[in-house]
Amino acid sequence: MTKNTETQITNVQQANEAINAVVENLKTQQRAYKSFVKLQEKANAKLYSVLGEAFAAYTHLMAGETKERNAKINAFKEKLSNQKCQFAKAATEATSLQLRIVRYICGNSITDKTATNYARVIKVAAANNVQNMDMTFSEWVILSGGIDNVRATKDGEAPKDFVKVAKDICQTRNAETAAVEAAADSGHLFSVALIRNNEDGTQDIVWSTNKASLTNAMLKAAGKELDKEETAQDAEQTTIDAEAQLNADANSTTAELVSNEYELEAA
């Protein structure tokens, strides 16, 4: 066995050992992640349970005739205010009942956004009359796809997938003769069009808008791409010019040398 062969074998062995070490570490992370998932499931179950009690408090306060309901809600607000708990500093007359409940439970341990999300879940659950369903609040949240999915719904109705809606409609939508003109107050000449690529190789405008947010987003995207292209073209032209100058300098030097040689020979 040659020395080169021995070196190659050693290198392969070292590479395999390194890969094995990486794989073993990933296996360890697999176990760690499984542990995390179990902890996350337990944490979610606990959170759903807490929010379930918050929901129960909300439905209790909201139950009854108007006079009775208002009396309970006002008494509840006064009770919380007298306790001077953490939530009170952020509560105003406009603060919803469900948000007051969430803030009372969670205090400063969560952000305002999270508190608002939790309050939203309680509101959607009430709109769905979950308290009258043959299931717990926690079961309803799980069946509804979790907190993030529930808070994104409108009174319990799952939001439409407007990407799918657009695809379905624009698949057979008649082509527009031209895109809409730029908005009169936009200060520019641009609008945005949605193009359908047909099977026969043709293209049709199937929808267009001059809405500022969409047009500006498209202009920004175009600006980034076009700036890259222009920068690349400038760099390419600089290289071409530099090469041309080098060639010109080389030709000039060659011509000068030939001229000098001719003059020496003539002398």
**Tally of structural domains, the chain:** 3
**132 and 200 fall within a common domain:** no
Give the integer Cα–Cα distance in Å for 30 and 37.
11
Model confidence, pTM: 0.55
Residues 57 and 72 in one domain: yes
Domain membership of residue 158 (yes or no) is no
Region label for 84, one of left (φ > 0), alpha (ψ between -120 and 50) or beta (otherwise): left
Same domain, 36 and 115: yes
Task: Give yes or no: residues 136 and 184 share one domain.
Answer: no
- Tell me the pLDDT band of 226, cut-offs 50, 70 and 90: confident
**8 Å CB contact between 57 and 99:** no
Residue 157, helix vs strand vs coil: strand
The residue assigned the tokens 């008494």 is 75
Two tokens at 108? 């400063």
Please tell me the predicted confidence (pLDDT) of residue 71: 92
Residues 108 and 179 in one domain: no
Asked if residues 186 and 212 have their Cβ atoms less than 8 Å apart, the reply is yes
pLDDT in tens, 1-12: 566 666 776 777
Do 241 and 194 lie in one domain? The reply is no
pLDDT interval class at 261 (50, 70, 90): low
Domain that holds residue 231: 214-267
Question: Same domain, yes or no, for 69 and 131?
Answer: yes
**pLDDT one-digit tens code per residue, 126-167:** 988 999 988 999 999 988 888 888 888 766 555 567 788 889
